[in-house]
């Protein structure tokens, strides 16, 4: 391998979710912030929830007359 071309590896990088959960993992960045993790993702929790960050669902419902989101 060539020397001095690889990024620094942080074996104890802190990952923080917007729901408040945090855990450690290995990464090339010392701290990571994520919006959805395994604790709050609808696939793992079993909830039917629409994650809408930019108002796309409401805009779709206004254009096409869909039922209002919950």
pLDDT at 66: 63
pLDDT at 60: 80
Are the C-beta atoms of 67 and 61 separated by less than 8 Å? yes
- Asked if the structure places residue 1 within a domain, the reply is no
End-to-end CA distance of the chain: 54
Domain at 38, CATH number: 4.10.80.400
- Asked if the structure places residue 4 within a domain, the reply is no
pLDDT at 3: 82
Q: Please state, in angstroms and rounded to a whole number, the distance separating the CA atoms of residues 41 and 48.
A: 10
pLDDT at 69: 56
Domain that holds residue 48: 10-64
The pTM of this model reads 0.54
- Asked if the structure places residue 69 within a domain, the reply is no
Cα-based torsion angle of the residue sequence 66, 55, 43, 37 in order, rounded to the nearest 10 degrees: -170
In this predicted model, which residue has the larger pLDDT, 56 or 22?
22
Kindly report, residue by residue over 24-66, the tens digit of the pLDDT.
Answer: 999 999 999 998 888 887 776 777 666 666 677 777 878 887 6
């Amino acid at each position: 391998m060539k020397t001095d071309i690889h990024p620094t590896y942080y074996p104890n990088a802190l990952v923080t979710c917007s729901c408040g959960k945090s855990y450690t993992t290995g990464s090339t960045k010392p701290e990571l912030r994520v919006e959805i993790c395994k604790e709050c993702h609808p696939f793992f929790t079993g909830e039917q929830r629409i994650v809408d960050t930019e108002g796309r669902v409401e805009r779709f419902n206004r254009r096409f007359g869909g039922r209002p989101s919950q």
